[in-house]
């Protein structure tokens, strides 16, 4: 079997790449590549969001252009005899601030492709203003670490990223103040309120910095998105105060929460914990044995998550 590089074909490749990411996680029992939620989120949220970021009147055409730009830069390695996808190199978005960052995803049995995949990343994703390229690598991915070191990359040890895991056992019942209710977008699909709470959860007070309505509608088209797993807490005045989305990987019996946030006016009141626990409860009903979140914050540790895996950014100046 000889893997060959080709360009990404959106209509043909999205689901096979999703399955490739799920399968590689199952093979080694921990992340080497993205999980399914990040693949969905990159195409159906990050790319369209960046296309209209800070536009006072978001133009959906700019979101569509950003999606096409992201798709046009993806490289796929496919076995020439059976069509199996064994490697993918992409960015998370081809819009600021994701410029100059590449992600190398490969089947663990195809380590020999890494040099070719890094060649592709360096030819495609270098930030042309800063002349830098950043690669995110898990601390146990020794072959990729050795390769980037050989090429002059340096590890940014001061800014690690974490994956934390909650092992599902007994779960508490919801406990909310009077007048507050846990709901999902399956019960009240108010995109305006949903995009506002998401923006304010990440300290954006300017509506031009929130996801556009078109972007949120795109997110809801993602193959692994479910409205019943897009959760929020609504207050007595009808405003949303906290939110999260549960993604479910059935093959690995794993839920993933992405994104999670609480309105800046309602923090430290238990709402974040309650919406996260509801996500875990819903994951349990689907058959999940664990739930992951891409964060190492103490907030998650206090709930019962454990920091499990660490990755670092490696940077090279050209």
Check whether domain 167-309 has CATH 3.40.630.30, yes or no: yes
97 pLDDT tier (thresholds 50, 70, 90): low
Q: Give strand pairing partners of 145.
A: none
Residue 172 CA, distance from chain mean position: 27
DSSP class of residue 138 equals: E
pLDDT at res. 274 = 97
pTM, to two decimals: 0.96
Q: pLDDT tens digits, residue range 21-39?
A: 999 999 999 999 999 999 9
Q: Give helix 142-150 / helix 114-124 axis angle, nearest 10°.
A: 50
Average pLDDT value over all residues in the chain: 96
Cβ(230)–Cβ(245) under 8 Å?
A: yes
Considering only the top CATH level, what class is 3-162+311-317? alpha beta
pLDDT of residue 96: 65
Q: Say what the pLDDT of residue 142 is.
A: 97
Q: Closest by alpha carbon to 301, among 98, 105, 164?
A: 164
Q: List, for residues 225-256, the tens digit of each pLDDT value.
A: 999 999 999 999 999 999 999 999 999 999 99
What is residue 313's predicted lDDT score, i.e. its pLDDT? 97
pLDDT over threshold 90, residue 2:
no
List, in order, residues 6 or more apart from 20 with CB less than 8 Å away.
85, 86, 88, 105, 107
Residue ranges of the chain that CATH labels 3.40.630.30? 3-162+311-317, 167-309
């Amino acid at each position: 079997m000889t893997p060959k590089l080709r360009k990404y074909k959106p209509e043909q490749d999205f689901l096979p790449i999703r399955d490739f990411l799920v399968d590689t996680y199952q093979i080694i029992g921990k992340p080497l590549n993205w999980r399914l939620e990040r693949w969905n989120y990159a195409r159906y949220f990050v790319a369209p969001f960046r296309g209209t970021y800070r536009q006072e009147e978001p133009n959906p055409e700019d979101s569509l252009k950003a999606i096409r730009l992201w798709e046009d830069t993806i490289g796929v390695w496919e076995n020439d005899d059976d069509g199996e996808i064994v490697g993918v190199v992409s960015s998370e978005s081809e819009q600021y601030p994701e410029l100059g960052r590449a992600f190398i995803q490969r089947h663990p049995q195809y380590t020999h492709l890494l040099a070719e995949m890094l060649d592709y990343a360096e030819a495609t994703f270098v930030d042309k203003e800063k002349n830098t390229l950043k690669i995110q690598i898990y601390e146990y991915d020794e072959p990729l670490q050795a390769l980037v070191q050989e090429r002059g990359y340096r590890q940014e040890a001061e800014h690690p990223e974490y994956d934390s895991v909650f092992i599902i056992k007994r779960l508490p019942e919801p406990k909310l103040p009077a007048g507050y209710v846990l709901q999902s977008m399956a019960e009240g699909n108010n995109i305006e309120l949903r995009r506002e709470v998401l923006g304010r959860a990440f300290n954006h007070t300017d509506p031009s910095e929130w996801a556009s309505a078109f972007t949120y509608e795109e997110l809801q088209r993602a193959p692994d998105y479910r409205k019943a797993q897009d959760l929020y807490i609504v207050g007595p005045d009808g405003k949303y105060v906290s939110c999260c989305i549960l993604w479910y990987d059935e093959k690995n019996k794993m839920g993933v929460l992405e994104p999670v946030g609480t309105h800046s006016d309602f923090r430290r009141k238990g709402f974040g914990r309650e919406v996260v626990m509801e996500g875990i409860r819903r994951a349990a009903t689907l058959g999940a044995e664990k739930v992951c979140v891409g964060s190492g914050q103490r907030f998650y540790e206090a709930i019962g998550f454990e920091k499990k895996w660490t990755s670092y950014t490696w940077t090279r100046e050209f």
